[in-house]
Amino acid sequence: MDSFIIIGTAGHVDHGKTELVRALTGVDTDRLKEEKERGISIELGFAPLRFAEGVTAGIVDVPGHERFVKNMLAGAGGIDLVIFVVAADEGVMPQTREHLDILELLHIQKAVVAITKADLVEEEWMLMVEEDVQELLAPTRFSTAPIIPTSVITGEGLDELRTVLEKMAMEVDPKPRIGEARLPVDRVFTITGFGTVVTGTLFSGHLHTGDTLEIQPSGLKGRVRSLQVHSQKVEEALAGQRVAVNLTGIELDEVSRGDVLVTPGAFPVVRRVTASLYLLERASRPLKNWQRIRFHLGTKEALGRVRLLDRDELHPGETAPAQLELEEPIVAAVHDRFVIRYYSPVTTIGGGEIIEVGGRRHRRFRDDVLAGLERKLTGTPTTRVAEELRSARMPVAMTELASRTGFREEDMRQILKELEESGDVQIVLSYGKDLFVVPTPLYEEWVYQAKETLKKYHQKYPLREGYPKEELRTRLWKFLTPRLYQALLDRWAEQGEIIADGQNLTLPEHQIRLTGEQEQLVQEMYRIMAEQPFSPPGAGEIQEMLGDNLDLLQYCIQQGMLVKVSEEFYFLQDAVNQAWDILEKHLKGHGEMTIGQARDMLGTSRRFCLPLLEYFDRQRKTRRVGDKRVLLSGPGKRPT
């Protein structure tokens, strides 16, 4: 399978970047009239470069003028490999240094130096320029970058440069094609008859014709009408490619540079990121807490302020944890690299790596906060995920964790499995393709809360069957969805922590026992009611017999001793069974029965007989037809 990378240019204004790209690709990337007239690049330019070994590169030609560094930053975010351009006749210049700083801060993987305009200088001068470049690169990640003198006039060095680029391109780590699509927008325009077109480097995932995508941070949705990669129409675009996306449902004025085209719901939109922030050694002054800065991520520029978490000033050459509070929403992911510039004067001063996207505002000078951020930044995958979960107060979805930590979902599934095996997390629910996890300390805290609540309930209401299930959720975990709550209950029941019986919850050791006094009250009540089984005392009298203890009354019902026939009367279960035997026998022999007949057979009054007959109606043992009852139940079936 072909791989796709982005090669960027960098260097001072008028050092020959655009001419070099044209010599390598045959494409003039200066497309604006003003660029033609002024002879400098103002906007980003793009050109394809195909290598023989199955690698296709898109070259991003960035402007070098100091006034257009923000445009350079918009193109630098997706670069894998850079051609660092230095003109032989001028050597290292201010934007040479600033562009190098930006490439360093963004952790661009590889670089090759092209010393252009070699035809304009003598060999001795060229050697001096090469030495200056080596000295400039020595303290950077590009200290071993090849340096190649070139000339677009004579052709010197162009074949060697192309060969070096091809070799380096083969060594570049490709962008992840698996996962959600993210394309920072760097150009927006319209084509008559087709509508809105956005372009950018596809950072991750893939796009297909017909896909529905979101423009963030606005949240507007559009459908992919067509795709182009290097001016060729395609059905699919892959991570690492320069892509033009023709969208339906999105107007031209609804999207702009800095927006991000994403899989719907895949990336958070935030105004705060927590990061490891580095201040360049050549920064002119320390960075103070709450200082206003310009924040650059992908193609986005946003104003914001820096909250230093472990100091009041960040000095040149130092790194510190910080939160960047932004004045407008952005789309970001963990591990994204960013650049900051002074608000005024506008110069590049630092950058770093995002540790958290969104999240809470951290308190400053807290050792636990600082240690946690360090673990997230430098720890193993399991350490980083465990740290992300450490402060969780409710179950976290695997998909959300993947978004917060920057891991792919398939990798996150394996990480969670390892954390479960080590006892650090509990996977409480598998729902569809997602998992919901709880850190073990929180899980154990919930188990303790549930058991303590049930224990106190049993102590207060020893005769009740159990704590109402939904009432426990409302009291302790109303933030849990019913599905997650039920998953926890099922897990606790399986582990023997609780017993879930219908709508009631009890502890395994809970048993309903009467005290000696309660036993006497129940026996006395039974004796009195058994003397006249079909003419029982009223409900109020029975409550008095049981000491006005409603729980004891409910116990008698639950144990099958009493049957609530109506709001006014309770009958002994034995009496109800006996009455039904008598009435059923009559109904089977005669087919029907009046209230008077039932009253006489039971030796009671209409006051007691009517509620009992209505009870049998509700139990679907009998049916009223006029002023009579007929049999509905099968033979020998007793009322319940």
Q: Percent of the chain at pLDDT above 70?
A: 93
Strand partners, 499: 506
Tell me which of 72-76, 106-110, 155-159, 562-566 is least confident: 72-76
Domains of the chain: 3-171 (3.40.50.300), 182-262 (2.40.30.10), 269-369 (2.40.30.10), 370-421 (no CATH), 516-631 (1.10.10.10)
Cα 586 to Cα 592: distance, rounded to the nearest angstrom: 8
pLDDT greater than 80 at residue 64: no
Q: Please, which pLDDT band fits residue 75 given cuts at 50, 70 and 90?
A: low
Strands 292-297 and 206-208, bridge-based pairing: unpaired
> What are the pLDDT digits (tens) for 455-483?
999 999 999 889 999 999 999 999 999 99
pLDDT greater than 60 at residue 567: yes
Can you give the pTM of this predicted structure?
0.76
CA distance between the termini of the chain? 72
Cα 173 to Cα 445: distance, rounded to the nearest angstrom: 44
Cα 351 to Cα 374: distance, rounded to the nearest angstrom: 17
Q: Please, which pLDDT band fits residue 29 given cuts at 50, 70 and 90?
A: low
410 touches 458 (CB < 8 A): no
Strands 55-61 and 3-11, bridge-based pairing: parallel
Q: What is the mean pLDDT of residues 297-318?
A: 96
Q: Which two tokens stand for residue 442?
A: 């929180």
pLDDT on residue 636: 44
Buried b (16+ CB within 10 A) or exposed e, 418-432: ebeeeebbbbbbeee
Of 461, 365, 370, 383, the residue nearest 425 (C-alpha): 383
- Burial zone of 628 (CB within 10 Å; 0-12 exposed, 13-18 middle, 19+ buried): middle
DSSP 512: -
Q: Please, which pLDDT band fits residue 174 given cuts at 50, 70 and 90?
A: confident
Q: What is the mean pLDDT of residues 117-133?
A: 96
pLDDT on residue 38: 34
Tell me which of 35-39, 325-329, 396-400, 434-438 is least confident: 35-39
447 touches 440 (CB < 8 A): no
pLDDT on residue 179: 78
Cα 14 to Cα 627: distance, rounded to the nearest angstrom: 108
Phi, psi values for residue 564, rounded to 5°: -80, 105
Q: Which two tokens stand for residue 433?
A: 């393709």
pLDDT greater than 50 at residue 617: yes
DSSP letters of 543-591?
Answer: HHHTTT-HHHHHHHHHTTSEEE-SSSBEEEHHHHHHHHHHHHHHHHHHS
Q: Please, which pLDDT band fits residue 32 given cuts at 50, 70 and 90?
A: very low
Q: Please, which pLDDT band fits residue 212 given cuts at 50, 70 and 90?
A: very high
Cα 634 to Cα 512: distance, rounded to the nearest angstrom: 35
Summary mean pLDDT of the chain:
90
Q: Percent of the chain at pLDDT above 90?
A: 71
pLDDT on residue 77: 64
pLDDT greater than 70 at residue 633: no
- Burial zone of 560 (CB within 10 Å; 0-12 exposed, 13-18 middle, 19+ buried): exposed
How remote is the C-alpha of 565 from its chain's centroid? 55
Cα 207 to Cα 219: distance, rounded to the nearest angstrom: 18
Phi, psi values for residue 27, rounded to 5°: -115, 130
> What are the pLDDT digits (tens) for 495-540?
999 999 889 999 999 998 898 999 999 999 999 999 999 999 999 9
Q: What is the mean pLDDT of residues 23-51?
A: 59
In angstroms, what CA-CA distances link 511 with 340, 449, 466, 514?
66, 20, 10, 10
Q: What is the mean pLDDT of residues 10-19?
A: 88
DSSP 350: E
pLDDT greater than 60 at residue 35: no
Tell me which of 34-38, 366-370, 384-388, 601-605 is least confident: 34-38
Of 43, 128, 47, the residue nearest 91 (C-alpha): 128
Question: Residue written as tokens 């958070």?
Answer: 268
Strand partners, 186: none
pLDDT greater than 90 at residue 364: yes
pLDDT on residue 68: 38
Q: What is the mean pLDDT of residues 175-202?
A: 87
pLDDT on residue 60: 81
> What are the pLDDT digits (tens) for 419-462?
999 999 999 999 888 999 999 999 999 999 999 999 999 999 99
